[in-house]
Amino acid sequence: MKKNKLFFIVSEDKSFWSHRLSLALSAIDAGYDVTLVSNFNKLESKIKNRGVNVININFVRSSKHPFTDLKNIFKLIFILRKEKPDIIHNVALKTILIASIAGLFSKKMVIINAFTGLGYVFSSDQLHAKLIRFFIKPIFKLLFRRSNYWTIFQNPDDMNLFERLGLINLNQSTLIRGSGVETNKFIQSDDLNKIPVVMLASRMLWDKGVGEFVKVAKRAYKNKINAEFMLVGGIDNDNPMSIPLSTLKQWVSNGDVQWEGHSDNMPDMLASASIVCLPSYREGLPKVLLEAAAIGRPLIASDGPGCREIVRDKYNGLLVKMRDADSLYEAVLMLVNNRKMRETMGRNSRTLVETELSTTIINTQTIELYRRVVNASN
């Protein structure tokens, strides 16, 4: 029996490795022939060794030149017409746009567009973001209402926004909460810190709430609060909201926070925290909160799209007002001063992941979607 061909189209191999590999392996186990189309840096051989076919294409996230994107559209048209996949699963905004246009030129193929949050383009009020929104909304409206185009959202806020804008057909849209977390890799552990460690782990971007977090750290230090504040994550120079290296170094020099940079060992890194924060302005469903929850940590996050899908207020963490350092400070203070509350919320975090948000659960939901959309197209 011929295997259905499933293509993942992702901008970078490291994103696939961290967020989609588990799904790809589950799809292989379910009988799919899986290929990754991506920009490969260091992980090509590792991905191939896991049974995933690879095709290299030079996606450039930071490119602002339409000619570069146009070239990639033509490359993808050639690849898709040659390989004839049954399903292509596109991940994240720019890749969705490029691959959805390319998919117009291939017949008998189901296109699944997975939004991992709406990011800078839909959350920023900057003129550049507004211009991009102006141009892509009519393109999305044209594409996403076609019978072979399906859409995955990670949270209901993003789905409802696209529905209000008239960009999607709700009958061909579904909610799958994130990419899940591997509970056998992120193992529940006790917090052994004598002094509570408050951690924000993400790319160093302003819209992740890093500025508000540093304000809280400064205020806590001034008020002699017995806690340590740690930033974990690298700089993303391709993102317009990137925090300059000079600013990060200044914060460290001032003694405001520790900054650990990028970590390749997130299970151990998150286990070293007592509380994990993400006062982000908008998310799909943040994987770092999933991972911290799996390890059994209480969470603090903005009461905004994506974050409230995993932080259940006063159950496994605290939700705070967005862009509000005072609200974040009060939440941090509440947990820093109450170990019993931290322990109870931490246990609840692990329970939530095991019952609703593990990779086993999320992968099963996604592969069932593959089965459904292929059957609908036949």
Task: Report the distance separating Cα 211 and Cα 214, nearest Å.
Answer: 5
CATH class of 197-357: alpha beta
Instruction: Please state which architecture CATH assigns to domain 5-180+359-377.
Output: 3-Layer(aba) Sandwich (3.40)
pTM score of the predicted model: 0.89
Helices (H) then strands (E): counts for the chain:
15, 13
Q: Delimit the domains of the chain by residue range.
A: 5-180+359-377, 197-357
Q: What is the pLDDT along the chain (378 residues), one digit of tens a residue?
A: 678 999 999 999 999 999 999 999 999 999 999 999 999 988 999 999 999 999 999 876 555 667 788 899 999 999 999 999 999 999 988 899 999 999 998 878 999 999 987 766 776 677 777 887 888 888 888 888 888 999 999 999 999 989 998 888 899 999 999 999 999 999 999 999 999 999 999 999 999 999 999 999 999 999 999 999 999 999 998 888 999 999 999 999 999 999 999 999 999 999 999 999 999 998 889 999 999 999 999 999 999 989 999 999 999 999 999 999 999 999 999 999 999 999 999 999 999 999 999 999 999 999 999 999 988 877
Helix (H), strand (E), coil (C) string for 40-80: CCCCHHHHHHCCCEEEECCCCCCCCCHHHHHHHHHHHHHHH
Phi and psi based region of residue 53 (left: phi greater than 0; alpha: psi -120 to 50; beta: remaining): beta
Residue 6 tokens, joined: 């499933």
Task: Report the distance separating Cα 154 and Cα 159, nearest Å.
Answer: 8
Q: Which helix (H) or strand (E) holds 149?
A: strand 149-153
Q: Tell me whether domains 5-180+359-377 and 197-357 share a fold.
A: yes
